Amino acid sequence: MASTSRWITGLLAAALVIVGACSDSPSEPPTPVVPTPGDSSLQVNSLAPAADAPAIANPVVTFYAKVGERREAFMYYRSRPGRADSTVFVRFRVSDGSLLTRPDGSVFAPGDSILITISLVDSLRGIVRFAPAGLRFSAADPADVKFSFLEKDEDLNDDGAVNAADSALQNLLSLWKRESPTLPWIRQTSTVTIGTHEIEADVTGFTEYIIGW
């Protein structure tokens, strides 16, 4: 019994030493893990709008894409007071050879067109839905989408300070897509331009998109 008591006492003393060491150690932020294309997640770390960010001027955009023609559509922020121009939030481009198949699987013929709708469905997280669902674009000549995060809160990790940790997170940003609100987000191969606060990716099918990490 005496040896058992000494053993228990020793364990308690060791535990106290470990707890004391942990409480004295300075806390360090976790090192971000770089995701790879194809990663999926039910919850993506999205970007909050800046406190003074303007509202989106045209949260629903419609236009006709046509085989053989290059067309673009834009979703804008409202102009800031005293400024004539405004920031583009989303730019979507369809090349002349991008349209492949309709939602029912039928192939587009030369000169065919289709109505495309782009909708901001969550203004806080910046989720944008593209329709009609099931529309497919050519992998050899895909459509292209570009998002701006210029009007987003620069405190990406929401710790109350804009610092090097937020700059590091900017390098992890990408576009994510999901087919429906019940399915996971899928990380897309994206090109991030930090200087212009833009992120761009090819589009081969319609779904919802968000900027995140």
- Asked if residue 66 has pLDDT above 90, the reply is yes
Residue 99 resides in a domain: yes
Residue 27 resides in a domain: no
- State the pLDDT at residue 43: 87
Residue 149, domain CATH? 2.60.220
- Residue-wise pLDDT for 175-189, tens only, equals 999 998 889 999 999
Residue 16 pLDDT level (bands cut at 50, 70, 90): very low
Domain housing 204: 40-212
Residue 20 resides in a domain: no
Residue 181 resides in a domain: yes
Residue 140 resides in a domain: yes
Residue 8 resides in a domain: no
In total, how many domains does the chain have?
A: 1
- Residue-wise pLDDT for 81-131, tens only, equals 888 788 999 999 999 999 999 999 999 999 999 999 999 999 999 999 999
- Residue-wise pLDDT for 116-172, tens only, equals 999 999 999 999 999 999 999 999 999 999 999 999 999 999 999 999 999 999 989
DSSP per position, 150-181: TTB-S-TT-SS--SHHHHHHHTT-EEEEESST
> Which residues contact residue 6 at a Cβ distance below 8 angstroms, ignoring those fewer than 6 apart?
none
Give the rounded percent of residues in the chain with a pLDDT score beyond 70.
82
Residue 25 pLDDT level (bands cut at 50, 70, 90): very low
Mean pLDDT of 8-25: 40
- Residue-wise pLDDT for 69-79, tens only, equals 999 999 999 99
Q: Three-state SS for 142?
A: coil
Residue 74 resides in a domain: yes
- Residue 134 and residue 206 in contact, taking contact as beta carbons nearer than 8 Å: yes
Residue 183 resides in a domain: yes
Number of CB atoms found within 10 A of residue 40's CB = 13
Tell how many helices (H) and how many strands (E) occur in the chain.
2, 14
- Asked if residue 62 has pLDDT above 60, the reply is yes
* Element housing 208 (H / E): strand 208-212
